[in-house]
A = this chain, B = another copy of it.
Amino acid sequence: MSRSVLKRAVGVVRGAASSMPRRTPSLPESANPPARLSLISRHLAPEYPINTPYTIERLPDTIDTSRLPKTQTRKLSYSATMSSQPPHPTLLIPGPIEFDDAVLQSMSHFSESHVGPTFVATFGETLTMLRKLFQTTDSSAQPFVISGSGTLGWDIVAANLVEAGEHVLVLGTGYFSDGFADCLRVYGADVTELKAPVGSRPQLPEIEKALSEKKYKMITVTHVDTSTGVLSELEKLSELVHRVSPDTLFIVDGVCSVACEEIAFDAWKLDGVVTASQKAIGCPAGLSISMFSGRAIKALENRKTPVAAYFASMNKWLPIMKNYENKKPSYFATPSPQLIHSLHTALTQILAQPLSERFAAHKAASDKIKKAVADLGLKQLASNPDDQAHGMTAIYLPETVKQAEILPQLAKRGVVFAGGIHKEVATRYIRFGHMGVSILDPRRGDVDRAVKALEEGLSECGYQKA
């Protein structure tokens, strides 16, 4: 990646940090109730609004967050300070990834009411930032952030946007597209899987043929299948879907792509992208994050049958998300303030530089890693360079080297890779995740260290490049 990109980003973040109050890590007053109370009350505006789910109905427009006490300040440390994390093995699996100090510090935010004004403001800003990350300015599009694993995103799609018996075309790229298909079936969808061989993806002509044969309510694509490192091409695929089957909803599983691969939600006319916090977004696991188009919301509204889930119901969450973004407290189920703070910090860091530079940095790191892999005489699962993800690399092991030998060799060198997960070849490959701070902060040296560990580890396992 270019150092100038990084420097600029750090500059912006530093600028932001300098205008914020300093964090007071351990004020003696904090253990002294009267002093603490006085500190607090000095900062409280008299119209501190009511903390209740019903507030929205009673006080729709009374929250002036600018006059409220500031939420806990986060140092925006993004590659600008020494790490405050204890020494630990470098996690280079395709998610969770290594996290920035400031993001982790935000996880320790003191307790706040989930319907209190400071947290509501943080949640609202988080949703607005997600619009920027997904490159959408369409006000009919709607971001959702819900406590859960990334997998919950599949339920959200399957329980809300498809009705029992409706046809869904799933583009099969591996373990994760199989999972999405299973989830769709649980909620009654009639699923057709168009499966590609391991390390490949369904091709446009066969997709066109499939779309012409049947009326599909939805087509799903796994942008990056984390089991194989295969990248799908969204823009051309979307053109095809909109040309051949314009009523079909175009849904993207972006768990391993959002924030490391370009996603132009509006320009590419996507109807839904579901993702998780712990991959390229760089926030600890625990949040299902998604964006749906106005057209997807219409499909929800036009359902003939009730939504097939409760916690995953978009009908339940839609008004809540709209209210949060409008800084109005609202309640369906308790969100995790700490995770939302952490996501807020991660998104602030991401948006401190142009997204194009972030994607270019991931591509540059990926190119470097893939060249190193080739130089070692190793092959990737994704054999076609156009199909290779930029946030991870799935690497076939030499025939003489076992996964159970090489992974411990890497671990001994302080680097954690993941094993295989595609059922046809699970034991024959390893996965190297390269997203977020590990590639954006060159001072960490994560990539070089990992490549060196791989080289040394293979050699220790008796492998010599032919």
Contacts and interface: CB of A to CB of B under 8 A. Distances in A.
A116 B149 contact: no
Interface residues of A, number: 115
A412 B245 CA distance: 59
A339 B337 CA distance: 12
| Interface of A: prevailing SS | loop
A136 interface: no
A401 to B, nearest CB: 13
Contacts of A20: none
A442 to B, nearest CB: 11
A50 B113 CA distance: 40
Contact of A37 (B46, B47, B414): B414
Given A51-B417, A309-B155, A111 B91 contact: yes
Contact of A311 (B46, B154, B313): B154
Copies in the complex: 2
Interface stretch (A54-62, A122-130, A236-244): A54-62
A69 B89 contact: yes
A152 B311 contact: yes
Contacts of A41: 412-414
A86 to B, nearest CB: 6
A310 B183 CA distance: 6
Interface in A185-223: 186-187
Interface in A129-159: 146-152, 154-155, 158-159
A284 B337 contact: yes
Contacts of A110: 85-86, 88, 98-99, 104
Interface stretch (A260-268, A380-388, A403-411): A403-411
Given A50-B419, A155-B309, A285-B334, A96 B82 contact: no
Nearest to A85: B110
Interface string A98-118: 110000110111111111100
A306 interface: yes
Contacts of A413: 37, 41
A466 interface: no
B51 A84 contact: no
Q: Which 3 A-B pairs have the closest CB atoms?
A: A52-B419, A286-B336, A151-B333
Given A51-B418, A149-B335, A285-B338, 9 more contacts: A24-B87, A33-B449, A52-B420, A53-B421, A104-B338, A113-B418, A147-B285, A152-B311, A286-B339
23 contacts: A30-B84, A40-B89, A44-B411, A50-B403, A51-B416, A54-B419, A54-B420, A54-B427, A55-B419, A96-B114, A96-B337, A99-B111, A108-B108, A146-B149, A147-B152, A147-B286, A150-B333, A154-B310, A154-B311, A284-B336, A285-B336, A286-B286, A286-B336
